[in-house]
Amino acid sequence: MMSAARIIDEARGPSRLGRKLAMACAYAGCLVSGGAPFSPLQARAVDKTLPEMVTIAPGGFVSDSTEKPSARTVRIAYGFAASKYPITVAQFARFVRETGFDTGNHCYTHVGDIVHDTFTEGSWKDPKFPQGGNSPVVCVSWNEAQAYATWLSRKTGETYRLLSEAEYEYVNRAGTRTRYWWGDAVGTAKANCKGCGSAWDDKRSSPVGSFPANPFGLHDTAGNIWSWTGDCWNADIAAAPADGTAADKGDCSKRAIRGGSYGHGPEYMLPTSRHSIAPDVHDQHIGFRIAKTIASPRG
């Protein structure tokens, strides 16, 4: 596994082996049908400035949400890549350093049941709990997550973006049919949430990769931090696209988040759990992970 320091090293260009692997994947076909784990070429991106990416095969799921009676079937007919971990503090710091992007200095921070939002306390650099370079970045808005993806796309010549709600649910389920990808019971220390039995519960985020990867090879899809998605908010998920793409219609003054966090109970980690937040909000429970487009989802 690459360290955060190695991930944010200056790029020296793709290695010869990396180019060969990429070509083999492109021409021989690396996607496994039905969302099976991608191996052995799923590993990291070649360029050292990129987060480690995992290729996700086409597949689908039935969203059997208990919140709404209208279950829906989602079929993702395209392959895409998702970051193995949420974007880290070190990775976001590189973006800020190279672009001079001004994120401001304000964030919703929580102390017990008291919520603080000021312009003098809390930011992605200091979310009011201990963090390191390998911690998932939080206190970043949807707008800033989009700016990061745009920067990374321009830097690499590839197309990076936020995951859609459907894609996030797909990778959170990871081909399983249980309440959580590891089983029906929350168990002990399977993830970081309020009541998960980990060392970080209801205190702070945990370093990425502190818990095992799911069957798709991704870490922290359930718990640790909420992740922004690309979707406009639709209270009834049945109104969202069933082809895996992000909803560009609905209430676009709010954006959907998925995955749950260290400060919320196990029920928020369920694959169907979702919430809406204004895109300019900074919150110490919310970060993001990214996707890379392999082929146009709509052809």
> Which element (helix H / strand E) includes 227?
strand 226-233
Please state the rounded mean pLDDT for residues 57-74.
76
**Range with the poorest average pLDDT among 27-36, 40-49, 64-73, 146-155:** 27-36
Contact between 214 and 167 (Cβ < 8 Å): no
pLDDT of 26 > 60? The answer is: no
Tell me the C-alpha distance between 122 and 100, whole Å: 19
Instruction: Name the DSSP class of 292.
Output: E
pLDDT of 63 reads: 81
Name the residue with higher pLDDT: 36 or 271.
271
CA distance 49 to 40: 21
Q: How many CA atoms lie within 13 A of 44 on its CB side?
A: 17
Q: Which residues are CB-contacts of 20 (< 8 A; sequence separation ≥ 6)?
A: none
For every residue of 39-86, DSSP letters joined together read: -STTS--SSTTSPPEEEE--EEEEE--SSSS--EEEEE-S-EEEESSP
pLDDT value of position 113: 54
pLDDT at 5 over 80: no
pLDDT tens by residue, 10-21: 333 334 434 443
Q: Tell me the average pLDDT across 198-224.
A: 97
Residue 203 reports pLDDT greater than 50: yes
What are the residues facing 233 on neighbouring strands? Answer: 251
pLDDT at 296: 64
Query: Using 50, 70 and 90 to split pLDDT, how confident is the model at 164?
Result: very high
pLDDT tens per residue, range 268-280: 999 999 999 999 9
Which H or E run includes 168?
helix 165-173
Superfamily of domain 4-293 in CATH is paralog of FGE (formylglycine-generating enzyme) (3.90.1580.10)
Q: Is the peptide bond prior to 241 cis by the omega test (within 30 degrees of 0)?
A: no
The residue ranges of every structural domain in the chain are 4-293
Alpha-carbon torsion angle 7, 9, 11, 13, nearest 10: -60
Burial of 242 (0-12, 13-18, 19+ CB in 10 A): middle
